[in-house]
Structure 1
Amino acid sequence: MSYDRFQGQSEAAPHDEPIDVTPPVWAASPDAPDEEEGPRPPLSRRRKIVLGSVAVVGLAGLAAVGIWGGRIISQQDTTMSTPASVAGLQLNSSADAAATADDLKAAFAAGIDLKDSVGAVYTDPAAAERSVLFFGGTALLWSPAKDLDTLFGLVGDESGAVDGVHEVPAGDLGGVMKCGTTSVDGGGNMAVCGWADHGATGMALFPSRSADEAAGLMRQIRDAVQVRD
């Protein structure tokens, strides 16, 4: 409302009539009870549905956090070793094998921060060309799948891209396990498998083996080298 309009209304009002100061019917009476003291109106059906949905989502989120936290607690205390024999394979203790294991440890440890790490070459007594090169380590891993993908990327940097990476059953120890293949010098392919959970990760190279065969062997290797406290 403009000032001129307001002023015009004031001049038009008669000056000899009393001003009515009775509060309008909608004004709150001094004796009226506080609205908060009276009964509250029932929630509408739509509001009940919304509030119920929010509660369900909140409880589901808390449950998911609880499961995730429990999984971390159960997996974080892990030790890793390289036993003398694994799944019919024999630990190669030669100087060349030890040097290869050290190279593996250095290459993979550069891409992921580990508390302890191990490396080993396991020889197949039936066929030397099917020896397995293994690397593993322990650490508190918040995102196992992401860390495992990092390891696959490191293998790709060293020997060419790892193709056909896919998830496979991880076995009784849980976590995530994946396998793929990469090319080797002189032609042919080599299977690559790795696993990761919240307490440890491991990867192995399987020359002259298919990815399916390597996956089963990897689960056996993992059961032998990884121990949870």
Structure 2
Amino acid sequence: MPENDHPQPEDVLVDVTPAAPCPRPRRRLWPALGAVALLGAGTFGVVFADNFANLGAYRYSPPKSFTGLAYAPEASRAKQPGTLGSESGVSATAYLGDGDRSTVFVTVEERHIFTPSSELDDLLARQRADGIRLDGFRDVDPGERGGAMKCGTTVFQGQHLAVCDWADGSMWGTYTEAESGAVPDLGAAVDHARDFRRQAEVPS
């Protein structure tokens, strides 16, 4: 058979047609996801509206006396640089009375706190890491300044102490009170801590 009579292989066809556009349902996916994201952001804003509103709402300005106790400058410390730099600061305020038998000592760090309950948990963890044992520590009504507050008792160098820790959108603080030779009334200490916050946290 002549060479030209051999059957020739068929040409291989390659489909170079451009890919078809995404089906309409998929094209609608991204706007839908965007709408869900916006809805989620809106819901987040509504749920945490108070958190945003309370950021920096107050500043720390302790009273010159408290529950009949006088401010003790020798045992106090003015604001020092805090963990967030110049926008925050740590203060220590002491009050003494009855021949130094009664004592109130408050430590505060001013800074914006978005989730006070989480900040309070972190504060308690730091205190425990420092070897402070807090007995019967429990959630209490934080009072009109809001945020979160927990109170309990401890013994330090043989002295019984009542302790209240709190955190809000403007600061965290530790309120401690003691009376020499006596076990403090925790219920009274909780009331005092709320009252101290009401006096010391003034609108920014």
Identify the residue that residue 31 of structure 1 maps to in structure 2: none
Q: Secondary structure at the match of 1:115?
A: strand
Tell whether 2:167 aligns with 1:196: yes
**Structure (1 or 2) with the larger CA radius of gyration:** 1
Q: Which 4+ stretches in 1 moved above 6 angstroms?
A: 58-61
Query: How many residues in Structure 1 have an aligned counterpart in Structure 2?
Result: 164
Question: Cα deviations across residues 139-192 of structure 1 (Å, max 9, x unaligned)?
Answer: 111221121122223333445321221111111111111101112212x53111
Equivalent of residue 221 in structure 1, options 196, 200, 203: 196
Distance 1:158 1:122, change over 3 A: farther
- What percent of counterpart residues are identical? 23
Query: Going by fraction, where is helix more abundant, 1 or 2?
Result: 1
Unpaired segments ≥5 residues, structure 2: 1-35
Q: What letter matches 2:172 in structure 1?
A: T
Query: 1:105 and 1:154 mapped to 2: Cα distance?
Result: 19
Per-residue CA deviations over 1:171-228 (Å, capped at 9, x if unaligned) read 1111111101112212x53111011112221112222423212110001111111112
User: Is structure 2 residue 138 aligned with structure 1 residue 166?
Assistant: yes
Question: What is the CA-CA distance between 1:86 and the residue it aligns to?
Answer: 2.3
Q: Distance in 2 between matches of 1:130 and 1:157?
A: 27
C-alpha distance after superposition, 1:117-137 (max 9, x if no partner): 2211111x3362320111112
**1:133–1:204 CA contact under 8 A, matched in 2:** yes
Contiguous gaps of at least 5 residues in structure 1? 1-54
- Paired with 2:169 and 2:101, the residues of 1 have a C-alpha distance of 33
TM (norm. structure 1) is 0.60
Q: 1:33: which partner in 2?
A: none
Q: Are the aligned partners of 2:111 and 2:171 in contact in 1 as well (CA < 8 Å)?
A: yes
Cα deviation 1:10-67 (Å, max 9, x = unaligned): xxxxxxxxxxxxxxxxxxxxxxxxxxxxxxxxxxxxxxxxxxxxx9xx9798455314
Worse-matched range after superposition: 139-148 or 155-164: 155-164
1:128 aligns with 2:100: yes
* SS in structure 1 at match of 2:73: coil
Two-structure CA RMSD over aligned residues (Å): 3.1
- Judged with a 3 Å threshold, the aligned counterparts in structure 2 of structure 1 residues 200 and 154 are, in CA distance, closer, same or farther, namely same
Choose from 59, 74, 96 the match for 1:79: 59
Q: What is the match of residue 3 of structure 2?
A: none
